[in-house]
Amino acid sequence: MKRKSAMKLMASVAVVAVGIYVGAFMTTEAEGDTIVPGSIDDPVVTKSYVDQKLGSQSGGMTAEDVQKLITEQLSANSSEVVVVTVPLGKTLIAKDGSEFVVRAGKAVAYSSDANGISDLTDGKDITNGKSVPNNHLILFPRGGRGVQPDPAQKNGLTVLVRGQYQLQ
């Protein structure tokens, strides 16, 4: 019986030794790629990754550039009224959506096409070369039209302008 117990003990030791050997030296990695933190396959998105992707799509504009652009656009569409003096021989050209009120002088309408300018006070269309009444609200839905001093007078014009304009 001693011999049987010794054999069982040796067999048990051999099984445990083989198990330790297999566990220690014959490990295998799981199939598939391992995910490296910060890589494109990482399911956790970091701020630097988002900034990098947004930066490449925004044309390289920084937050300061975007803020400056928005400020410029808002100031360009200002609702402030500006007093403009138009000298004889010059034309005050409106940009899209601008409004004029002729305060002093005799003005005539300027339009490069057959359409005129809108007199909102009288509800009329003033065509090219026709007189523009003083103290009437004139709307320019499209740019490229304007007012100029009447060539028969010696003085220029004083015009209240809301919106963008150009003096030519």
Q: For the segment 53-71, what is each residue's pLDDT rounded down to a tens digit?
A: 776 666 666 777 777 777 7
Output the CA–CA distances (angstroms, integers) from residue 160 to 56, 100, 119, 144, 157, in the order listed.
45, 6, 14, 18, 10
**What is the pLDDT averaged over residues 8-33?**
77
Number of domains in the chain: 1
Determine contact, residues 20/12, Cβ cutoff 8 Å. Answer: no
Q: Give the span between the Cα atoms of 68 and 63, in whole angstroms.
A: 9
User: Residue 113: which of 91, 89, 144 has the closest Cα?
Assistant: 144
Q: What is the pTM of this model?
A: 0.52
- Provide the domain limits for residue 88: 81-167
**Six-digit token string for 64:** 């300061």
**What is the pLDDT averaged over residues 119-145?**
84
* 87-126 confidence digits (pLDDT tens): 888 888 888 888 888 888 888 888 887 778 888 888 888 8
Greater pLDDT, 67 or 8: 8
Task: Quote the pLDDT of residue 60.
Answer: 63
Is 57 a domain residue?
Answer: no
Is 13 a domain residue?
Answer: no
Greater pLDDT, 108 or 45: 108
Determine contact, residues 64/137, Cβ cutoff 8 Å. Answer: no
Q: Which CATH number belongs to the domain containing residue 132 in this structure?
A: 2.60.120
Is 138 a domain residue?
Answer: yes
**What is the pLDDT averaged over residues 64-87?**
74
Is 15 a domain residue?
Answer: no
Is 60 a domain residue?
Answer: no
Q: Give the span between the Cα atoms of 141 and 139, in whole angstroms.
A: 6
How buried is 41 (Cβ within 10 angstroms: 0-12 exposed, 13-18 middle, 19+ buried)? Answer: exposed
Is 64 a domain residue?
Answer: no
Task: Quote the pLDDT of residue 57.
Answer: 66
